[in-house]
A and B are shown apart, each in its own frame.
Chain A
């Protein structure tokens, strides 16, 4: 699916980098702990998180994650949007909670990727 598909499935608002939402994504991860994202994520291209601070964008940058979805209606501030714009990472915001957001995407074919 594409990032645009994600925004439609989750009724999510695209907050920046609209020009990149046609990019294909195959795997995703969901976590509020950036420590765990850094330690366990391998080649996932989407990060779903309820954490909302600039280190979320930086963690995504380091992990080559190309899209961030904020769950529970979290809205990043201007500083975070700016960081994301510089890196071309679309930020999405959905009202769904983590479990449902992940489930909805899984149902449409997005996967978590391999263990390890």
Chain B
């Protein structure tokens, strides 16, 4: 596999039940491509956390995933409210999620730290009122 594969997903915010479809699709594609299970797990968890964040905090957005021989790059871009203080948002337990999100099983403030933990590289670009772009890389050993 010399050239890379690029996948694009639109994530909509109007249906919480569908959140995670993109991550699920990427996971099954990586499995079919015989990517090592460890890398698949890292991609699945970090992308799913990011996808859920786009749905609950940012009115959805676009995810592009590039799969090359030695690296998987995920770019999650939204036009949501932006993140006021990234350092604070990255802390385990910090969450602005409303109570109705907690009754759905999310909003513990664990997502961003978990994305950091499971990706090999992570970068967040954000601007208040404009949106947030999270880029994560997972290397294939």
Contacts and interface: CB of A to CB of B under 8 A. Distances in A.
User: Does more than half of chain B's interface fall in helix, strand or loop, or is it mixed?
Assistant: helix
A55 B105 contact: yes
Contacts of B20: 54-55, 58, 62
A105 interface: no
A62 B27 contact: yes
A33 interface: yes
15 contacts: A33-B102, A33-B108, A34-B105, A35-B109, A35-B111, A38-B49, A53-B17, A53-B104, A55-B20, A55-B104, A59-B105, A62-B23, A62-B27, A62-B45, A64-B41
User: Does more than half of chain A's interface fall in helix, strand or loop, or is it mixed?
Assistant: helix
B110 A36 contact: yes
A33 B113 contact: no
Interface in A31-59: 32-36, 38-39, 51, 53-56, 58-59
Contacts of A79: 17
Interface of B: 16-20, 23-24, 27, 41, 44-45, 48-49, 52, 92, 102, 104-111, 113-114
B107 A62 contact: no
A72 B135 CA distance: 40
Closest 6 A-B residue pairs measured CB to CB? A35-B108, A34-B105, A58-B20, A39-B110, A62-B44, A51-B105
Given A58-B24, A58-B48, A61-B24, A38 B104 contact: no
B105 A63 contact: no
Interface of A: 32-36, 38-39, 51, 53-56, 58-59, 61-64, 79
Most chain B beta-carbon neighbours within 10 Å: one of A35, A39, A56, A61 = A35
Nearest to A58: B20
Contacts of B107: 35
Nearest to B23: A62
B108 to A, nearest CB: 4
A5 to B, nearest CB: 26
A89 B64 CA distance: 28
